[in-house]
Amino acid sequence: MNKSVLIVDDNLTVCLMLKSWLVKRGFLVETATSASDAKQRVKEQPFDLILTDIRMPDADGITFLSWVKKYDSDIIVIMITGYADVESAVLSMKAGAADYIPKPIEPEHLFKKIEEAFQTQEYRNKKSRFSNDFILPPGKEYQLLFRQLDQIAEHNEYRLLIGDRGTGKVSAVKYIYEKGIHPSRPLVQLDPDQLNINKRSSRQYTDSEENESPLMEKFFAARGGLLYIRKVDQLDLNLQNELLNILTKQSRDEHYTQIIMSTEKSITELEKSLIPKLFRLLGEKSITLPTIKGKKQVIDAFVSYFLQFANQMLDKQIQTIDQTIYNQMYEYAWPENIQELKNSVIQAALLTEGKHMPAELASRLFEKNIIKQENNLAVSTPMLNLRKENYEKEKIVEALRLAKGNKTMAASILNIDRKTLYNKIKLYNVIT
């Protein structure tokens, strides 16, 4: 995918010159002539790189840089400096800039700086890949789960993951990918939620490049790597037949693509959604992810892990949590499991000043979330009787609030990539 770049300079001639160079190299380029204009564009689009002059009429470059890093910390920023601004450029690197380039700008020097910045980011991403996604908590359930995941990775097998919302299905897929697939091979996701399934015709798809189905398109994109199909129960009949053919006829050669599927449906519910042959095939190759409700040691392990994550991301130094909060966690039903627990720890960390998380946070974290418990099912107040669109919008708004507006942090909370977050913000008209 082509990288997107924003050029920020009050000199329109400089903007157009840089844009022409970058477009010729395949970059997608936007320009802005002021910091205020640049901020608006950043809010509308997930840029990969910003080239910004260190001196602008309405704001200095370091102030703008600080805003960018708070808004979306994944954006690479390279400062453009005049001869007299080298000292400021050094300060900007301490504030989070990837590099700086002096004027007059030489094209090859610019491209070298850009390439080095992306390589450095890629190295850091690989080094920390999935570091906040999956851990092995105590208990036989998780020990068995990790043995199964290790086997799937080792033998490059297809598998169906069954689990309630938030039990870690996406994280399990990433674990399998990291353990079994070479990092140069792709990890591709197919999400039926993003397909207009209900309006699709019943026509048969072909494997031709001109007329291939969304499934085949993703399958070819994942060639030699791993294809993850979320909510497999929502695939229409044509796509289910295609999936069945892939699973039963794919050759075990160098282009073999591992396929992992997931569902929130039970086996009984799944049988009603899938064609018989596919159901029988997946039923024999399924594993169930455990829930966390009432499992004290498991909750303790995840809380400790997420607290370290929150301390790192939020620049906190929280060392202890009041036992009252733990007791509430043990009693809570956790309808969204690990993901909800992670969000709660982050929210509590945001509200904590100092090294100890106080008891009074317990009521703020839990009393507002639970309005009733019937048959051991907790119901979350904002989520009652909401359609899917409103549910997703509420979750995005909540994640942005928890992350204090930082898109990278919010995407991490939601367990989606930042470009998907930007798309959903536009789709649901979320004000940021």
Residues 6+ apart with CB under 8 A from 409: 73, 313, 402, 403
What is the pLDDT at residue 146? 95
180-205 CB burial, b ≥16 within 10 A, e <16: bbeeeebbbbbebeebeeeeeeeeeb
What is the pLDDT at residue 83? 61
Residue 56 in this model has a pLDDT that exceeds 70: yes
What is the pLDDT at residue 119? 87
Residue 233 in this model has a pLDDT that exceeds 70: yes
What is the pLDDT at residue 251? 92
What is the pLDDT at residue 168? 92
User: Which structure tokens are listed for 250?
Assistant: 């794919």
Strands annotated E in 285-390: 286-288, 320-321, 356-357, 370-374, 377-380
**Confidence grade of residue 200 (pLDDT, cut at 50, 70, 90):** very low
**CATH class for the region spanning 4-127:** alpha beta
Residue-wise pLDDT for 351-370, tens only, equals 888 999 999 888 777 654 43
What is the pLDDT at residue 318? 95
What is the pLDDT at residue 84? 59
Q: Are 369 and 361 in contact (CB under 8 A)?
A: no
Average pLDDT for 167-196: 86
What is the pLDDT at residue 226? 96
Residue-wise pLDDT for 370-428, tens only, equals 333 333 333 333 333 344 557 778 888 888 887 888 888 788 777 678 888 998 898 88
261-289 CB burial, b ≥16 within 10 A, e <16: bbbbbeeeebeebbeeebbebbeeebbbb
What is the pLDDT at residue 299? 96
What is the pLDDT at residue 130? 41
Count Cβ atoms below 10 Å from residue 142 Cβ, excluding itself.
Answer: 20
Q: Are 402 and 350 in contact (CB under 8 A)?
A: yes
Percent of the chain residues past pLDDT 70, beyond the cut = 87
Q: CA geometry: angle at 385 spanning 383 and 389, to 5°?
A: 70
What is the pLDDT at residue 419? 86
Phi/psi of residue 26, nearest 5 degrees: 95, 5
Average pLDDT for 163-179: 92
DSSP 35-57: HHHHHHHHHHS--SEEEEESB-S
162: left (phi over 0), alpha (psi -120 to 50) or beta: beta
For residue 259, what is the enclosing H or E element? strand 258-263
Sketch the domain layout of the chain as residue ranges.
Answer: 4-127, 140-288, 296-427
- DSSP state for residue 232 in the 8-state scheme: G
pLDDT averaged over every residue in the chain: 85
Judge whether 4-127 and 140-288 match in fold. yes
What is the pLDDT at residue 388? 55
337: left (phi over 0), alpha (psi -120 to 50) or beta: left
Residue 39 in this model has a pLDDT that exceeds 90: yes
139: left (phi over 0), alpha (psi -120 to 50) or beta: left
* Fold designation for 140-288: Rossmann fold (3.40.50)
Of the candidates 336, 343, 338, the residue with the CA atom closest to the CA atom of residue 302: 338
Helix, strand, coil % over all residues of the chain, rounded to 5: 50, 15, 35
**Confidence grade of residue 77 (pLDDT, cut at 50, 70, 90):** very high
What is the pLDDT at residue 50? 97
